[in-house]
Amino acid sequence: MKQQFKNVLGIDISFDQINLALLRKSKNGLKLLKVAGCPVPDGAIKGGNIEDAAALAKAVKHLKTKNKIRTNHASLSMVMEPTIIQTMDIPNDSWDDVGQFVRNEIKHCASLSMTKIASDYCGIKSTDKTDKRRAFVVAADSQKITTFVDALDKEGLGVDAIEPFSVAYIRACYAKKIAEKFDQNLAFVILRDNILTLCVFKNQILDFVENEKFEADQFDCEESFRLIIEKINALLKFYKLKLADECDTWEVNLAISISDESVKEKMESLANRLKTGELSYGFFQNNLSVEFEFKSLDQAYLDTPVGDTELADKPSAVAVGLAMKLLNYEDCGLNTNLLLPEMVNSKPERKHALVIANIAAAIFLLAVLTVGFLDMQVKNIKENMKDKHGKLLSGDVKSMLSNKDSLDEQIANTSENFENMSAILNTTFFARWDKVLDEIRYATPKPVRIVNIFSNDGLKIMLKGHALSYESIHLFVQMLNKSKYMKFVSLIGTEKDAESSGLVAYSISCSLVE
């Protein structure tokens, strides 16, 4: 069963644009709450990959904050070449360990050779009335995923899932474009970021998918359109001649990312001419009934469940599909996630560290308030002492001595607590504890857990906890030393913790800038 969230965010990152879509699922269906978009920072993406992960993560955070989008659950599609998307037939003798079979097959992909691979798969039904077992598979370079997810994490942005943009697009359009269509083959052709994706659905089930680099040197409208139509033509021929497909009715949906309005108009004109038969490019229609539909990707939201949005800004269909992934909404069953298992497992640890930091901040705030209260109490006591001392000669001596003893006891008790906090009170640093704790949180590597934070004088912090390795502890020290609030950070000691399954216990001392 999928986990259910209240509000979820789809983060769609293409070559030149960041798009966000905040959705909520209710008894009345999906509701689009907010939409936001901005250009990708200069130099953040180059050659089909993220070049400056930190700058891109900051841009996502700024866009989210600026539009007051408040949710900790997000699904992400990121620029990443190469990305493998395909279907696989699973041999009967491999069904007990499909994961290993898939991983072995992916290793043969030349585009992902010599890299650590992140992959996932899900089972899909057969479309030819057999019991043939099949899987839908996605794969990419795990290092590229890790680098960007870490950058988002440092900005306080968590990610629950990662998938290719084409999968999110299909999910977003499934209800209106695929569901309940049994009498025809459906082809989806999506071009974005120089990647051409071709999908075929038969009886609502994915039958074929291919992801490839679009080889056109530059987007020349007529030439690019001709190349795309040739791809579609070859696909239909393949089904008709080689697969002997009995269905002669096709609906072809073409979606292309076009930012230039003049190019968009030319492309729409070419699509209309093809639809009316004025233009053919050798389009294979012998004994086939082909219905052809064209949309630019910025208008594809009209085919999603939130297509009737009243918001002034229109959402990215990909961002909508990404958010839908976390809402347990009717989709095409292509449920894969490229977020690495160790990153999924580390989310509770990051949440635990954040809770500890928040508790520590609350303790420091309580200490500051308590010090202020004690300071006022001491002043009041001293004033009472002076007043009592002035009346001592004319009052009841026994009564005054009794009161004095009581006041002395109050002063002693108050002073004992006051001395423990006076060092903090005498500095101006206490107003920055929230920032210091934030710095510690951002500097904490995933294999490191903090179990205790304390300070005796307000100028030093002692951190204690556990880590998976000595290397991660030394990395933690290096990261802390880069903080503008830390004057000097030193590793006090480390030792193997026999009670915690071989984890390494550590103690770190941090001298704070006054």
Average pLDDT, the chain: 81
**pLDDT at 257 > cutoff 60:** yes
Complete DSSP assignment for 184-231: SEEEEEEEETTEEEEEEEETTEEEEEEEEE---SS--HHHHHHHHHHH
- For 143-172, what is each residue's pLDDT tens digit? 999 999 999 998 989 899 999 999 999 999
The pLDDT > 90 percentage for the chain reads 35
What span, in angstroms and rounded, lies between the C-alpha atoms of 98 and 121? 9
- CB-CB neighbours of 79 under 10 Å: 25
Residue 335: burial class (beta carbons within 10 Å; 0-12, 13-18, 19+)? middle
What distances in angstroms separate CA 197 from CA 224, 234, 235, 250, 417, one per listed residue? 15, 14, 12, 17, 69
Residue 369 backbone class (left: φ over 0; alpha: ψ -120 to 50; beta: rest): alpha
**pLDDT at 54 > cutoff 60:** yes
Beta-strand relationship, 195-202 and 205-213: antiparallel
Query: 7-339 and 349-512 share one CATH topology?
Result: no
Name the pTM for this structure.
Answer: 0.68
> How far is Cα of residue 351 from the mean position of the Cα atoms in its chain?
15
Mean pLDDT, to the nearest integer, of 426-453? 75
* The pLDDT value given to residue 408: 61
**pLDDT at 475 > cutoff 60:** yes
- Find out whether 150 and 213 touch, Cβ atoms under 8 Å: no
Roughly what angle, to the nearest 10 degrees, separates helices 433-443 and 470-481?
140
Level-2 CATH architecture, domain 7-339: 2-Layer Sandwich (3.30)
**pLDDT at 418 > cutoff 50:** no
Residue 284 banded pLDDT, cuts 50, 70, 90: low
- Find out whether 255 and 296 touch, Cβ atoms under 8 Å: yes
Nearest to 465 by CA among 454, 477, 453, 483: 453
Mean pLDDT, to the nearest integer, of 222-228? 86
Lowest mean pLDDT among 115-129, 245-259, 360-374, 500-514: 360-374
* The pLDDT value given to residue 482: 84
507: Cβ contacts below 8 Å, ≥ 6 apart: 462, 463, 464, 491, 492, 493, 494
Degrees to nearest 5, angle at CA 504 with 503 and 509: 140
Residue 129 banded pLDDT, cuts 50, 70, 90: confident
CATH number of 349-512: 3.30.1360.100
- For 183-194, what is each residue's pLDDT tens digit? 889 999 999 988
Every domain of the chain and the residues it spans = 7-339, 349-512
- For 59-83, what is each residue's pLDDT tens digit? 999 999 999 998 989 999 999 988 9
**pLDDT at 424 > cutoff 60:** no
* The pLDDT value given to residue 439: 84
What span, in angstroms and rounded, lies between the C-alpha atoms of 80 and 100? 24
